[in-house]
Amino acid sequence: MEDSPTIVSKLEGILRQLGHQVYVARDGLTALTSVRAFVPHLVLLDIMLPHVNGFQVCETVRKNHIYDTIAVIMVSALTDAASIQRAYACGANGYLTKPIQENDLLSTLIQALSTANVVFSGPM
Q: pLDDT-derived band of residue 110, with 50, 70 and 90 as boundaries? A: confident
44 sits in which H/E element = strand 42-46
Residue-range domain boundaries for the chain: 5-121
Q: Alpha-carbon Rg of the chain, whole angstroms?
A: 13
Q: Is the pLDDT of residue 88 over 90?
A: yes
| Partners of 94 in beta bridges | 73
Q: Is the domain defined by 5-121 classed in CATH 3.40.50.2300?
A: yes
Q: What's the rounded Cα separation, in Å, for the pair 122 and 28?
A: 8
Q: Model confidence over 5-49: pLDDT tens digits?
A: 777 888 888 888 888 889 999 899 999 999 999 999 899 999 999
